[in-house]
């Protein structure tokens, strides 16, 4: 039976591992920011938050408050996601180094 594209060996991923991780982290942080924005602005009106202070003219609009709030939550969620991924990756690398050291020590 001749090999076709469907039966051929699987090709390497078109996306490098870093890009896949980046996409997953940004998507997860986006969804977290959506939920955080929904919960925060369900309780607080951006117009009332800037009422006591003298906000810049571009922030005085309610829609601008929602936008700034969403991007703030997205940035915070992205930082938390990247730190989590970094800590998991470094923990895995440290565990692999310890395994190699233990294997060398057993000889």
Domain positions in the chain are 19-102
Asked if pLDDT for residue 86 goes beyond 80, the answer is yes
Residue 65, Cβ density class (10 Å: 0-12 exposed, 13-18 middle, ≥19 buried): buried
pLDDT for residue 48: 80
Which pTM value belongs to this model? Answer: 0.68
Structure tokens at 73: 């939550």
Asked if pLDDT for residue 95 goes beyond 80, the answer is no
Number of H helices, E strands in the chain: 3, 0
Distance in angstroms between the alpha carbons of the first and the last residue of the chain: 49
Per-residue burial over 53-64, b = 16 or more CB atoms within 10 Å of its CB, e = otherwise: eebeeeeeeeeb
What distance in Å separates the CA atoms of residue 66 and residue 38, rounded to the nearest whole number?
Answer: 10
């Amino acid at each position: 039976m001749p090999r076709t594209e469907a039966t051929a060996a699987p090709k390497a991923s078109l996306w490098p591992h870093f890009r896949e991780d980046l996409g997953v982290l940004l998507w997860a942080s986006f969804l977290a920011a959506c939920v955080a924005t929904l919960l925060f602005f369900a309780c607080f009106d951006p117009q009332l938050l800037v009422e006591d202070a003298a906000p810049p003219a571009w922030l005085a609009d309610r829609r601008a408050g929602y936008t700034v709030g969403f991007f703030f939550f997205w940035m915070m969620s992205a930082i938390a996601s990247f730190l989590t991924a970094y800590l998991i990756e470094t923990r895995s690398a440290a565990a692999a180094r310890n395994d190699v050291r233990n294997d060398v020590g057993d000889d």
